[in-house]
Amino acid sequence: MSGRGTVKRQRGHKARLELTGAQSAILDEQAFAAITVWNCLHAYWTHFSGKRPILAQADQAIRQARVDFPFLAVLPAQAAQAVLKTYRQAWENFFNPDHPARRPIFRSKKGRPRLAVDVPQARNMRIVRLSARWGAVTVPMVGRVRFRWTKDLPGVGRNSPAGAVTGGRLVKEADGWHLVFRTETPAAPVPAHQGPQVGIDVGVTVAPALSDGTMREHGPWLTLGEREHLRRLEKTSARRRAARPRKSRPSGRERRVYDQIARLRAKAKRRAVDWQHRTTTELAATFAVITVENLSIATMVRSARGTIEAPGGNVAQKAGLNRAIAGQAWGRTVALLEYKSADRGGQVVKVPARGTSQTCHRCAHRDPAARNGTRYACTNPGCGWVGHADTNAAININNADGSAVSGRGDLGTARSAKRQPPRAA
């Protein structure tokens, strides 16, 4: 925050690149070279049993590797320096007790690794807008590339918002290469949001339920024809995988089937992310305080396979539940709510998730048998409330005490209503 009371808001914007076959091949080579640089750094870093080398020594090792191994020269020097910074940050995240990062390991080139190349500085990108739907950018060692223009970039063009593009990151997905622009815009402090507060309960088979009795519905991410096409492709891939000798590489026909499956799943993900963005924007603009469950998603999607000594049960059913939870992307929904609420003067509050689905919000009677699917019928003879189970859980979430994880305002004032007796629906 500057002395004038303004803050710099950092955001990212992803745009699809229109590449030729030769340009795409160059970016593939750069991405694999970046993986090699990471692995060389990891081998160099872990070689020392005592004090780790300083950044200057690691930087010199990268420069020497680019001289000794000419295939690493396809990676721009700035992108190689970005790999070093990312690797160092990975160790800092690992040693940070408040960060869930794992220990850095070697990255494999086999299978389908996630390919990415950093563009740390924007001074040579020369971003221009060509038309209403297209823009152009200079990619290091690739040249001039067109990209889909879906949002105005700060500092680009006459009518663009104030700010600047500070860099980018090239990422390859199922439908090709994308460029994620890193943007920085000035933002004045926003006043506290004056809207109501709400609790949200997320589910697997139904849409998110709000404590005001409403839901945010969405249909299937793929049409009926697309789902049938995906089913046929998965059957084809299973047949070809079963016919292939063990430990042999997939044929070109098998890889093409995998690519088609990946493109269909990527299409479903894009539609899901678009729905999440539009829904969270509406929620952040409407409500001042949004209460969500503090879920440990990594623990929830842990495999039930067990070990050889103690094998697990209902493995297939648990695997299906894990896929359903991952498909809903609860963590992404909360992350979107956090920064969008903060931009509008609101806040997101996380509360303990234990018992919210089994407790009656009206009389606080807790009974696991009271919930049957999406129906909740309180078993307390003196209450007998009947309604939607997710709405009941959302009201309990809204009535629970928690801690703010983002936003502004007086938390004590915002949470004062939580200490009142349970209210009727």
pLDDT at 409 over 70: no
Amino acid in position 252: G
Per-residue pLDDT of 331-346, as tens digits, reads 788 889 888 998 889 9
CA distances from 339 to 120, 251, 342, 397, 404 (A): 23, 45, 5, 20, 12
**Long-range CB contact pairs, 313-322, < 8 A, 24+:** 321/204
Compute the distance between CA of residue 348 and CA of residue 284 in angstroms, rounded to an integer: 9
Percent of the chain topping pLDDT 70 = 83
Of 154, 213, 216, 210, the closest CA to residue 181 belongs to: 154
The tally of CA atoms less than 13 A away on the side-chain side of residue 54 is 1
CA contacts within 13 A on the Cβ side of 233: 19
Give burial (CB, 10 Å; 0-12/13-18/19+) of 51.
exposed
Q: Where are the domains of the chain?
A: 7-187, 197-221+264-419
Give the confidence band of 329 by pLDDT, cuts at 50, 70, 90.
low
Range 139-160 average pLDDT: 89
Per residue in 228-246, pLDDT (tens digit) is 999 999 999 999 999 998 8
CA distance 130 to 137: 10
- pLDDT score recorded for residue 414: 38
The pLDDT confidence band at residue 303, using thresholds 50, 70 and 90, is: low
The whole-number average pLDDT for the span 46-52 is: 73
228, amino acid identity: E
Average pLDDT in the chain: 82
CA distances from 114 to 108, 338, 346 (A): 10, 27, 35
The pair phi, psi for residue 270, each rounded to 5°, is -60, -40
Per-residue model confidence as pLDDT tens digits over 251-290:
888 999 999 999 999 999 899 889 989 999 999 999 999 8
Of residues 11 and 4, which shows the higher confidence score?
11
Of 384 and 176, more confident: 176
Enter the pTM of the model: 0.78
Among 397, 319, 382, smallest CA distance to 351 is for: 397
**Residue 196: pLDDT above 60?**
yes
Q: Which of 76-90, 133-147, 382-396, 403-417 has the lowest mean pLDDT?
A: 403-417
